[in-house]
Chain A
Amino acid sequence: MLRALLARLQQGHRTISFPHGEPSLPDRFRGLPVVDQAKCRDGCRACAEVCPTDAIAADEHGVRIDLGRCLFCTECRDACPDGAMQYTAEYRLAQRTRDDLVLTGETLKRAQALGAESRRLFGRSLKLRQVSAGGCNGCESDVNVLNTVVFDLGRFGIQFVASPRHADGLLITGPVTENMQLALHKTYDAVPSPKLVIAVGACAISGGPYRDHVEVHNGADSVVPVDLYVPGCPPHPLTILDGLLRLLGRIT
């Protein structure tokens, strides 16, 4: 017992102050990619060509990056002959609609909160059922991290529950494989209405690296309506947490 108490003292208090103050992220953290279009050469498509998920469109209207497909992989940055592409430390990436994930300029919207009625229902207590539907378990790992003392998700009234019948919504990861489609449908149907769906990670948004494989369905919104998209491969836990709190109107 004494040892347990000493260990407790040694481990200290570790919960981050988020959403207050600036979170600490590694200096090489790959957040929002931005393109300095002024540096782009005419007709150069180097970034678009190397992108593994064809997330980049480069044409006469400039360079557009679809964050819903982006793996945040550095390929485009390294391929750019003019250093026009850089990552920023911006981790606040979640969006309410699929279109808002397409980055045209340097700025990205911040996800809007739910309507007043939904906020009244879910704002102070949100129970989610997680469904893993064919990804690599990376997103699941970083969703799980929200339950550690560092993020302490419970303090925001958000909790993952064991049964869809106890849930207010689903948090979906993975591209939705053919083999998980039915299970996802059934789980969605088992959640009482009104319900929310949160798609976490490139796979759940667009199929990720498995896009257009015959074995997958290119993301959660091919099967169920989605209320919040959290991009990344996998998204940093703070990106997920920020998205959840914005959706509930707890950060504006």
Chain B
Amino acid sequence: MSSRELSLSIRNGVAIGVSDIPKLTIGEFRDSVIDGVADGGRIAALFGRPVGERVGLVAVLAHHGSGTLSLCSAEVGDPYPSLTPDCPQAHWFERELAEQWNVQPQGHPWLKPIRFHRSYRNDQAARVGSNANGILPSVTDFFQVRGEEVHEVAVGPVHAGIIEPGHFRFQCHGEQVLHLKVSLGYQHRGVEHALINGPTKRTIHYMETLAGDTSVGHATAYCEAVEALAGSRVPARAQVLRGVALELERLANHTGDLGALAGDIGYLPTAAYCGRIRGDFLNLTALICGNRFGRGLIRPGGVAFDVDDDRVAQLLQRLEAALTDVTTAVRLLWETPSVPARFEATGLVSRADCEALGLVGPVARACGVERDVRQEFPSGIFRFAQIPVSTWQSGDVFARAYVRWLEIQRSVAFIREQLAMLHGAPTRVEVGPLAANRLVVSLVEGWRGEICHVAVTNVSGRFAHYKVVDPSFHNWMGLAIALRGQQISDFPLCNKSFNLSYCGHDL
């Protein structure tokens, strides 16, 4: 059988019946995923959900050429043969599976907890990560290098700056990093678990705070999922405003990141300017909805705030002013020779590693990989208005910075164009009850990359399961790879060039 017959091909944001998903044996399931990835597919989600006493595995592969997604499932007891030895992309997903559902992917090369919490299955202590003292964050095995002049550096969970908690261990030879281990879970607050049986009145707020700097991205993914499940049609005007908000979110964060990168190498002019200009973009979002992060704007059925002509004019005028400012600030980076000198050849990720790990977002595009949900799996306004994919080939800090700069320019162009064409229509429609026993995959290109939500309803149209894959989930391994062979003093710079989410990962 070919891999295609072992899976169901679907589209982003189109609901299907749960019973239509091919139910495979674990052997077929492995083949389907492993072959699908070998054929150029990428694991967008791989998760478990309880099916009686057993665990149902569901895999969603993204096929970049065709713009389709493929789905397959299998039920496993315990243990089952791990996919990771044949498909490294499954590595982190299977660690999550083992931790959440207490199943053992047998043959997994490095089975450790990723969030340090109790298992969801029968509330048992998780198979991985428990010891006599219960579950303690970062109390687990760490890969160690031994030898003369080899030493270990551990940082976190509380860091030096105002950032989220995480624990990093570097195996170093002198100044050189041989290996970095990333240990997360400090931000774990049980969101996925709390989403079951929803939607409830808290659901949209969970979505807006999965990763607070990506409120619009995650809220959009959620809304598109429930709209598909309810069969609602979102008015065009609302789709435009969602797109504008998504690109404003990208603008603010990319600008902030460029400033932070400048700060990390001590180039203060751009650091100071971009820190401020980031706020100018956030304030544009606040001009639309009163909140700088877009909280309260994206709602099932459309958007909760409209803009009149005056507000559009103001938005456009302030957008141009911010573009002028960010242009002078960022040009300084490229024109000051000491800046590219520090960015170039630092934190390299090869294209092959990027493909093997299934990295997403600007990090992947900086390896020359044309991977962008807005282009390949478009939903909402992006089905009609295309934003060219921005790539750079070099896979280093420079490329990750430069891709952000290219995207800033394209996002501004998009917003300018969309706001100029905004025409009258309602901004929101009622969303009825969700259909029973359906599944939908909802992808959105957040500023960090692919956001993937998978919603599954039960017989009464409530969430039997809700899976969230933040882009950071794919990319943390990329950071570890980028650090290999680097000077440990380059960690802050490399880290900032990825700027991954801890809370989005930890959920």
Contact B164 A3 (CB under 8 A): no
Query: Which residues of chain A from 2 to 56 have any CB-CB distance to chain B below 8 Å in the complex?
Result: 3-4, 6-8, 10-11, 14, 26, 28-30, 50-53
Given contacts A30-B291, A74-B304, A144-B162, 19 further A-B contacts (CB under 8 A): A3-B335, A4-B336, A7-B329, A8-B269, A28-B288, A71-B295, A129-B158, A131-B165, A132-B162, A132-B187, A136-B211, A148-B278, A148-B279, A149-B276, A177-B186, A177-B187, A180-B137, A215-B188, A216-B189
Residues of chain A lying within 8 A (CB to CB) of residue B188: 134, 177-179, 215
B292 interface residue, CB < 8 Å from A? yes
Min CB distance B277 to A, Å, is: 9
Q: Is the CB of B160 within 8 A of A179?
A: no
Chain B residues, Cβ within 8 Å of A138: 209, 212-213, 215, 293
Contact segment of B174-182, B200-208, B235-243: B200-208
**Among residues 128 to 148 in chain A, which have CB atoms less than 8 Å away from a CB atom of chain B?**
129-145, 147-148
* B503 adjacent to chain A (CB < 8 Å): yes
Q: Is the CB of B202 within 8 A of A52?
A: yes
- Measured in the bound complex, the distance between the Cα atoms of B297 and A73 in whole Å is 9
Contact A11 B212 (CB under 8 A): no
What's the Cα separation between A72 and B295 when bound, in Å? 9
B275 adjacent to A52 (CB under 8 Å): no
Q: Hey, which chain A residues are within 8 Å of B158, CB to CB?
A: 129, 131, 164, 183, 187
Q: Which of A10, A26, A160 has the most CB of B within 10 A?
A: A26
Q: In the complex, how many residue pairs between chain A and chain B have their CB atoms under 8 Å apart?
A: 181
List chain B residues, Cβ under 8 A from A144. Answer: 162
B486 within 8 A of partner (CB) = no
Docked-complex contact A209 and B202, CB < 8 angstroms: yes
Q: Is the CB of A210 within 8 A of B162?
A: no
Query: Is residue A224 within 8 Å, beta carbon to beta carbon, of the partner chain?
Result: no
**Other-chain contact of B325, A10, A71, A187 (Cβ < 8 Å):** A10
Task: Collect the chain A residues with CB atoms within 8 Å of residue B189's CB.
Answer: 134, 175, 177, 210, 213, 215-216
Q: Are A137 and B276 in contact (CB under 8 A)?
A: no
Shortest distance from the beta carbon of A178 to any chain B beta carbon, whole Å: 8
Residue A169 is within 8 A (CB to CB) of chain B in the complex: no
Q: Is B332 an interface residue (CB 8 A)?
A: yes
Could you tell me if A135 and B186 are in contact, using CB atoms closer than 8 angstroms? Answer: no
Select from chain B the residue with minimum beta-carbon distance to A163: B160
A56 to chain B, nearest CB (A): 12
Pairs across A and B, CB under 8 Å, 6 listed: A11-B328, A133-B186, A138-B212, A148-B279, A150-B276, A162-B160
Known pairs A11-B329, A26-B287; A134 contacts B186 (CB<8 A): yes
A210 touches B165 (CB 8 A): no
CB distance from A28 to the nearest CB of B (A): 3
Nearest residue, chain B, Cβ from A73? B296
CB interface residues, A 171-190, toward B, < 8 Å: 174-175, 177-180, 182-183, 187
Q: Which of B191, B272, B290 has the most CB of A within 10 A?
A: B290
Closest CB of chain B to A106's CB: distance in Å? 20
CB pair A135–B273 under 8 Å, yes or no, is: no
For residue B116, CB closer than 8 A to chain A, the reply is yes
Across-interface contacts of B116 in A (CB, < 8 A): 179
Cross-chain contact A50 with B201 (CB below 8 angstroms): yes
List of 6 A-B pairs having minimum Cβ-Cβ separation, nearest first: A138-B212, A136-B212, A28-B290, A162-B160, A136-B209, A215-B190
* Complex alpha-carbon distance, A164 and B212, angstroms: 25
Contact residues in A for B163 (Cβ distance below 8 Å): 132, 140
Report the minimum CB–CB distance from A139 to chain B (whole Å). Answer: 8
B residues in contact with A158, CB < 8 Å: none
**Contacting A141 at CB < 8 Å: which of B157, B213, B276?**
B213
Given contacts A148-B276, A215-B188, contact A137 B211 (CB under 8 A): yes
In the assembled complex, the Cα of A132 lies from the Cα of B161 at a distance in Å of: 10
On chain A, the residues within 8 Å of B292 by CB distance are 142, 236
- Judge whether A219 is part of the interface by a CB distance below 8 angstroms: no
Q: Are B201 and A52 in contact (CB under 8 A)?
A: yes
> Are A133 and B194 in contact (CB-based, < 8 A)?
no
Query: In whole angstroms, how far apart are the Cα atoms of A214 and B292 in the complex?
Result: 30
Nearest A residue to B285, CB-CB:
A26
Are B332's CB and A4's CB within 8 A?
A: yes
B117 at the interface (CB under 8 A from A): yes
- CA of A71 to CA of B286 in the docked complex: distance in angstroms? 15
A109 to chain B, nearest CB (A): 24
Interface residue A233 (Cβ < 8 Å from any Cβ of B): yes
Q: How far is the CB of B382 from chain A (nearest CB, A)?
A: 25
Whether A75 contacts B201 by the Cβ 8 Å rule is yes
| Chain A residues within 8 Å of B503, by CB | 134-137
CA separation between A74 and B158, bound complex, in Å?
34
B437-454 Cβ-contact flags toward A at 8 Å (1 or 0): 000000000000000000
> In the complex, what distance in Å separates the CA atom of A182 from the CA atom of B186?
10
Complex Cα distance, B296 from A72, in Å, reads: 9
**A140 contacts B273, C-beta separation under 8 Å:** no
- State how many angstroms separate the Cβ of B309 from the closest Cβ of chain A: 15
CA distance A211 to B401 in the complex (A): 38
CB nearest to B137 among chain A residues: A179
Answer whether residue A231 sits at the interface, using C-beta atoms and an 8 A cutoff.
no
> Are B295 and A233 closer than 8 Å at their CB atoms?
yes
Q: Is B168 an interface residue (CB 8 A)?
A: no
- The distance in angstroms between the C-alpha atoms of A148 and B254, with both chains bound, is 16
What are the residues of chain B within 8 A of A150 when measuring CB–CB? Answer: 276, 279
Give CA–CA (A140, B211) in the complex, Å: 12
Q: Is the CB of B186 within 8 A of A71?
A: no
Residue of B nearest to A146 (CB): B162
Instruction: Looking at the assembled complex, report how far the CB atom of B256 sits from the nearest CB atom of chain A, in whole angstroms.
Output: 8
Q: Which residue of B lies closest to A75 (CB)?
A: B201
